[in-house]
């Protein structure tokens, strides 16, 4: 495997760990195996490796850093929601096709195979599964991919600094709407079977409380 870290300063122990994550799917398997962090904070990928815990945003940053180690660009996409938590995913390309790795309290908002011909097509694969705890479909818009290498000088992947500034940055990006206001008013509630499946194994302390 060709190691391309693009400026991330991993220590030797971390490099050995990352070598075990040989492709996007094994990165996802690691994220699925660790606890969901319900706390309002944003710690670096180094912290995720050490503590074996992450919420959605921390998971996306970790996945982007691990993808960077494999030679992909460390790209994240913000997905804005109504009456629900926003969601952040790490995206990658295999040839012309997009895929994603993600940490989520919902089982349905995680990995996507690299089979989607456009970023919008990838994002829309989440739409019917993106709902709050009342079953209300909540995805409304998404950002363009943001390349985290712009923050390499701040050692975003290994710092002890809180990474809220990255969240502020992606929040400020233009977001492309996925539905119209009229369509939003006519959305159906997700079936109880979908809600039950989506919440399987979730950490209740980290769930958004919709109004």
Nearest to 124 by CA among 79, 59, 88, 92: 79
pLDDT tens-digit profile, the chain (211 residues): 444 445 899 999 999 999 999 999 999 999 999 999 999 999 999 999 999 999 999 999 999 999 999 999 999 999 999 999 999 999 999 999 999 999 999 999 999 999 999 999 999 999 999 999 999 999 999 999 999 999 999 999 999 999 999 999 999 999 999 999 999 999 999 999 999 999 999 999 999 999 9
- Give this prediction's pTM: 0.95
Domains in the chain: boundaries: 12-201
């Amino acid at each position: 495997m060709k190691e391309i870290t693009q400026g991330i300063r991993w220590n030797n122990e971390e490099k050995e760990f990352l070598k075990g994550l040989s492709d996007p799917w094994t990165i996802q398997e690691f994220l699925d195996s660790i606890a969901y962090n319900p706390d309002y904070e944003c710690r670096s990928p180094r912290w995720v490796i050490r503590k074996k815990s992450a919420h959605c945003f921390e998971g996306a940053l970790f996945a982007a850093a691990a993808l960077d180690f494999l030679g992909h660009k460390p790209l994240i996409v913000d997905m804005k929601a109504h009456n629900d938590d926003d969601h952040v995913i790490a995206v990658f390309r295999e040839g012309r096709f997009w895929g994603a790795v993600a940490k989520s309290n919902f089982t349905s908002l995680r990995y996507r195979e690299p089979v989607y011909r456009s970023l919008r097509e990838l994002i829309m694969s989440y739409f019917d599964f993106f709902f709050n705890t009342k079953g209300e479909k909540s995805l409304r818009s998404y950002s363009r991919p943001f390349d985290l290498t712009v923050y390499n000088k701040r050692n975003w992947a290994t710092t002890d600094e809180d990474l809220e500034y990255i969240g502020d940055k992606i929040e400020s990006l233009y977001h492309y709407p996925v539905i119209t206001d009229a369509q939003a008013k006519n959305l159906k509630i997700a079936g109880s079977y979908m809600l039950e499946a989506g919440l399987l194994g979730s950490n209740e302390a980290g769930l958004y409380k919709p109004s």
